[in-house]
Amino acid sequence: GAGVSQSPRYKVTKRGQDVALRCDPISGHVSLYWYRQALGQGPEFLTYFNYEAQQDKSGLPNDRFSAERPEGSISTLTIQRTEQRDSAMYRCASSLVGQGEQFFGPGTRLTVL
Amino acid sequence: GDSVTQMEGPVTLSEEAFLTINCTYTATGYPSLFWYVQYPGEGLQLLLKATKADDKGSNKGFEATYRKETTSFHLEKGSVQVSDSAVYFCALSVGNTGNQFYFGTGTSLTVIP
């Protein structure tokens, strides 16, 4: 693919439901990052992977949030028992190597009612 | 901890005006510094970067110089255009592999004809 893709682009869910957000990085990119961006703020780091290994999950807000990248390509960010405060834009980015340029996807706008 | 502080917006300029968006950072190591841009309705894109002190990043008429003595990475452009209207984010990466990214809150720029 030409760039990082994310799906769905928009997700509206009711409080208490689980959601799964998908990220498809640029082919061949080793590193994959998840960010959360509140309105009017910069992206806030959540977690990142090198290949299939989760290297740092210190930014995940609590244990309702988890992420996986089982085959070192597509990644899924899962939020269990969603709460209204989880509403935000969730962005994925990928890069060739850790210190390289990060290429961002269009984001998934999550709204929890 | 590591962080980025950037000038609050919004900023409104007339076409061909000079632009400066201030960015200062705090980092324990030797960070790489970035400016990302987000055009309306699009994802974040890398605008320019600098990986060590005194480096100057430049792209599309924008420039920023990595100043270790003032811990700054101010973004400048000599003559802005309407098409430069966007949100600009300053960011740094640290860590042994440069995977830990920290973003500023963003500065919204509107250029009027």
| Average pLDDT of the residues in B12-30 | 94
What pLDDT digit, counting tens, does each position of B57-103 carry? Answer: 999 999 999 999 999 999 999 999 999 999 999 999 886 556 778 89
Q: Assess whether pLDDT exceeds 70 at residue A99.
A: no
- Whole-number average pLDDT of chain B: 92
Give the whole-angstrom CA distance, residue B92 versus residue A43. 12
Residues of chain B with Cβ-Cβ distance to A102 below 8 Å are 46, 101
CB contact under 8 A, A101 and B46: yes
- Whole-number average pLDDT of chain A: 93
CA distances from A3 to B86, B101, B107 (A): 20, 20, 25
- A53: its two tokens: 């290994």
CB contact under 8 A, B105 and A42: yes
Residues of chain B with Cβ-Cβ distance to A42 below 8 Å are 4, 89, 91, 103-106
Give the whole-angstrom CA distance, residue B23 versus residue B4. 7
- A84: its two tokens: 């209204």
Bridge-based pairing state of the strands B86-94 and B107-112? antiparallel
What pLDDT digit, counting tens, does each position of A54-70 carry? Answer: 988 989 999 999 999 99
